[in-house]
Amino acid sequence: MPTSCESSNPLILDNLRVLRKLGQGNSTVYLVVHRQESKQYAMKVMSISRLVQKNKLRRLQTELHVLMDTDHPLLTPLYYAFRTQTHIFLVLGYAPGGTLYNHVYNGRNPKGRVPESTARFLVSELVQAIEYLHVKGYVYRDLKPENILLTSEGHVMLTDFDLVMEDRCAMMVVSSSVRGGQSGPPVTTSLHRSSSFVGTPEYMAPEVVSGCGHTQSVDWWAVGILAYELLVGKTPFCGQTREETLATISSLDAKVNLHFPDDVFISKEFVSFLHGMLQVNPTQRLGSGPPGCDEIKRHPWLSEINFAILAKPPKDLLATVQARIQKSHAEEVEGSEITMDFTTEQPTTPGEVLDADLSFFKPYQRPASTVRLYASPNPSLPLQRMAEVQSSPTKQRSNSLFDSVVSFLK
């Protein structure tokens, strides 16, 4: 293990060309390209000292666990994870379409609205992603436009799993589509409730705000909130302040009254869908009963969706995604390669990083034999499973980054 992060540059980061910074918050995310593969990744760089100061190590552990345990085309994949003495690096799948937030709230869309057909497509893919997490025993708990990425093909890619609640004993109802079309009785086990106050206020379910305990149904509430926002341009219970928003949600009556602008056409099927998803009583919420997620998928508003395959994205969504990609390419051509400089990010307290409990962290490479779900280009064929061939030239090349990481850490 090296004594400083600078020594990692020649052995690890030289395998990656850093194109530009994608974003910065508690971590910094860079767009990088592998020099041999020419494949782009999003690399998340986290200062260990900052994680310690903000008490975020537990969240990092949660996110790593979920990323390593999941494999679905609508979830962000983790390809590599490695660390130096001062920093942790996660090399993730890159979604060039940006966030759903940037797609909806851009200069060409001042009201922040999308057509109902586009909202239906987006919601249907989010339903599939969340159902997968629930079947794996996870509650997502942080659904919002900022955490939904768009791939170059226009599909959603859910990201940021640090607020996920793992509960292998939570009620899980496995729908027939997840079983691969096989019918059978729902699979249920005991129900666990958490009283944690987590999430973004506008998307919090009433049971989270009240602290009376919550289950997987909080994710279906958030889907309802997001569906409303996509068509109306704002969330239904947002106040002027955080406190006002929480007060509004906590005071909701059993039957939620939703208001729609006069200049927006809302189908009766969509209104019915929202009322089903936004039930204050979580046991009456769509997706919370014995049929599980199938109850949501069978709703008339989603009846046009074939959940056995990934549907073709709407043209308006694809157009926005392609425009963003072209803009990004222009920026990459005009800009020169940038260098990541960590010399200014030293621990503020002597020994702070060395004392951090990082026993949970191990170098990681995505298995070459990973089985991925994917949609057949032929809509008449069911959702298929494709094993990535380990002996393929691409896979052999992809090992080069991880090999250099392992050599460096030794």
The domain locations on the chain are: 5-94+336-409, 100-318
Contact 61, 161 (CB under 8 A): no
β-strand 78-83 against 87-93: which pairing, if any?
A: antiparallel
pLDDT value at position 161? 95
Confirm whether 160 is a catalytic residue: no
Question: pLDDT by residue (tens digit) across 224-274?
Answer: 999 999 999 999 999 899 899 999 998 888 778 898 988 888 999 999 999
Catalytic annotation, pick one of 14, 69, 71, 142: 142
Q: Are 206 and 189 in contact (CB under 8 A)?
A: no
Q: What homologous superfamily does CATH list for 5-94+336-409?
A: Phosphorylase Kinase; domain 1 (3.30.200.20)
User: What's the whole-model pTM score?
Assistant: 0.80
Question: Which structure tokens are listed for 383?
Answer: 């959702």
Cα–Cα separations (whole angstroms), residue 161 to 127, 213, 370: 16, 20, 20
Cβ-count burial of 367 within 10 angstroms (0-12 exposed, 13-18 middle, 19+ buried)? exposed
Q: Are 340 and 19 in contact (CB under 8 A)?
A: no
> First vs last Cα of the chain: how many Å apart?
7
Domain 100-318 grouped into CATH 3.30.70.3340:
no
Residue-level pLDDT at 278: 95
Which pLDDT tens digit goes with each residue over 293-305? 999 999 999 998 9
Rg (CA), the chain: 22
Q: Which pLDDT tens digit goes with each residue over 86-105?
A: 899 999 999 999 999 988 88
pLDDT at 11 over 70: no
Asked if 337 and 18 touch (Cβ cutoff 8 Å), the reply is yes
Q: How far apart are CA 190 and CA 44, in angstroms?
A: 36
pLDDT attached to residue 210: 79
Question: Is residue 154 within 8 Å of 310, Cβ to Cβ?
Answer: no
Burial class from Cβ neighbours inside 10 Å (0-12, 13-18, 19+) for residue 181 reads exposed
- Whether the Cβ atoms of residue 64 and residue 81 lie closer than 8 Å to each other: yes
